[in-house]
Structure 1
Amino acid sequence: MTDETGLGTVAVLRRYPVKSMLGEDLAAGEVTARGLAGDRVLGLIHRESGKIASAKNPRLWRRLLKLRAAFHGPAVRITFPHGSVLVPADPGIEAALSEFLDQPVTLASTPPPDARFDRAVPEEVLRDGISALVRVENGQLGGASPGGTFVDFAPLHVITTSTLDRIAALSPRGTVELERYRPNIVIRTEAPGFAENDWAGCDLRVGRDLVIRVIARTPRCAIPTLEHGDLPRDADALRVPAARNRISAMDDFAPQPCAGVYAQVISPGRVGLGDVARPA
């Protein structure tokens, strides 16, 4: 796992200001215990169920991936497919989001206590389709996070170019877009295959100051298969990991399709494109 130059270099840095919406690329950013600054700082809450809106349940929430969220100064701007742009201070934003999603939602900057979300069983989505009634698993938001944001589990999600290249090589299309896996950090690596599988339990230094601890492999939901903006559906973005990288995300977990890893922040710091990632 080690060599003189480290594991690889930061190729992409990305944040998603609103949970389950498209995000924005960064040249550099600050990382704290809560993750990459500005990542998943807003979320939508279903007014009737009280659950967090998540495209992990595509029957209800797949249209979230048609919306793009990005910072413009201190404010988050949400861009709709038809080109209109709204910010949280706009009085009509919740009505516009509710109409677009066909679900009654509230835009929130703080998750409610014991925030929950639904995750459709991904294999059943593959089998029955994105509009089908399939089993859903109820998850607790930010189970490995210090709280305060709308991350699913841990503050950071990391994936390697080796994993993306392997999935692409095994896909009938011969390619796969990194957007489908919604990483915060993409590390350019030379190792073959699903390189980060071996990082679980390891501490990594990224750049000068940032130290992260890899705590789990990332089990994949149905999101990679969905339309992302103008990207079409791609069931193979999940089928390939399901067939070629079905492993335990953590000790004592049943094997699941995995791609990428979750990480917690041990020492905060600034990270930028080209920074070297190496064992800490």
Structure 2
Amino acid sequence: MLFGKVSELWRYPVSSLAGERLEAAELDETGIVRDRLWGVFDADEAVAGPESEKRWRPVPALRARLEGKTIAVGQGDIWHSLPSSEADALASRHLGFPVRFQPFRPGVPVEQAGAPRYERSPLHILTTASMARLREILPAAIIDTPRFRPNIVIETGAEHTGFAEQELIGRMLSIGGARIAVIEPCKRCAFTALGQPDLPFDKDVLHAIARHGDGGFGVLAKVLEPAPIALADAVRIV
């Protein structure tokens, strides 16, 4: 059954930093290949937690992208490859205390080294229907994709309304040649309210999701059959 089509693809090479928009992506058992492989750590080896600690809140204003097989982080027009002292210095100046970038599991093959908290259901899916419904609830808010950090945005037809992806939980999707199992709702934390590039701080977004979405907005999924996917690929419930 046709559910919609892929309208956006996103990868976040460094957890908590702004990510990059893609036209196509490879899927493997970790989700989008090279997603959330690195983190930002302080001198005590604590990883960035902007959703829970005020000192980390500026982190999403930094960006991460792939340049070939290398991850680069930047701010404005300034970009530095990882690992490098220049990238660490850029982030330390931005945050106001010493930090460094490092992979979540040094020495582990890159395809297995993603952020541990994403291991169970590494793929995050959101629908245009859900964002449209949230705009109805909060007409004064800026409801834009980067606020919610999905990997895949599905454009749904008029027959799907409300938080439409919740009807996918427990079902399987076909996207291109990939098979994806939708596991659970994406429970939201304070990160959703945080300011990001071109997005203001807005606590009402998180409150509205808690009131109207049973705490969830989007769904988490895992890849059963890896394959490339691309914009405009049909999304089918199988």
User: Is the TM-score greater than 0.5?
Assistant: yes
Residue 270 (structure 1) aligned to one of 225, 228, 232: 228
Structure 2 vs 1, CA of residues 60 and 200 (structure 1 numbering), >3 Å: closer, same or farther? same
SS in structure 2 at match of 1:7: strand
Residue 50 (structure 2) aligned to one of 51, 55, 59: 55
Structure 1 residues 200-240: Cα deviation after superposition (integer angstroms, max 9, x where no partner): 11111111x11111111000111121111132112222121
Match of 1:254 in 2: none
**Where in structure 2 are the equivalents of 1:3-152 lying within 5 Å?**
6-48=2-44, 50-81=45-76, 83-111=77-105, 147-150=112-115, 152=117
* Aligned-residue offset at 1:175: 4.6
Q: Distance in 1 between matches of 2:208 and 2:112?
A: 32
* Aligned-residue offset at 1:26: 0.6
Gaps of 5+ in 2: none
CA RMSD, 1 decimal: 1.9
Q: Which amino acid aligns with 1:222?
A: A
Tell whether the 8 Å contact from 2:147 to 2:199 is kept in structure 1 after alignment: no
Residue 167 (structure 2) aligned to one of 198, 210, 214: 198
Tell whether the 8 Å contact from 1:44 to 1:53 is kept in structure 2 after alignment: yes
Is 1:182 aligned to residue 176 of structure 2?
Answer: no
Match of 2:128 in 1: 161
Gaps of 5+ in 1: 114-145, 247-256
Q: Distance in 2 between matches of 1:52 and 1:174?
A: 30
* Aligned-residue offset at 1:171: 0.2
Structure 2 vs 1, CA of residues 98 and 216 (structure 1 numbering), >3 Å: closer, same or farther? same
Q: Distance in 2 between matches of 1:151 and 1:9?
A: 29
Tell whether the 8 Å contact from 1:225 to 1:233 is kept in structure 2 after alignment: yes
Tell whether the 8 Å contact from 2:43 to 2:98 is kept in structure 1 after alignment: yes
Q: TM-score, structure 2 length as denominator? A: 0.90
Structure 2 vs 1, CA of residues 39 and 152 (structure 1 numbering), >3 Å: closer, same or farther? same
Tell whether the 8 Å contact from 2:141 to 2:202 is kept in structure 1 after alignment: no
Structure 1 residues 22-70: Cα deviation after superposition (integer angstroms, max 9, x where no partner): 111111010000110121121122221x232132224121111110111
| Segment drifting more, 14-23 vs 102-111 | 102-111
| Segment drifting more, 169-178 vs 225-234 | 169-178
Tell whether the 8 Å contact from 2:83 to 2:101 is kept in structure 1 after alignment: no
| Segment drifting more, 220-229 vs 38-47 | 38-47
Structure 1 residues 143-182: Cα deviation after superposition (integer angstroms, max 9, x where no partner): xxx9510263321000000101000111041651111000
Matched residues, number: 231
Q: Which amino acid aligns with 1:149?
A: G
SS in structure 2 at match of 1:60: helix
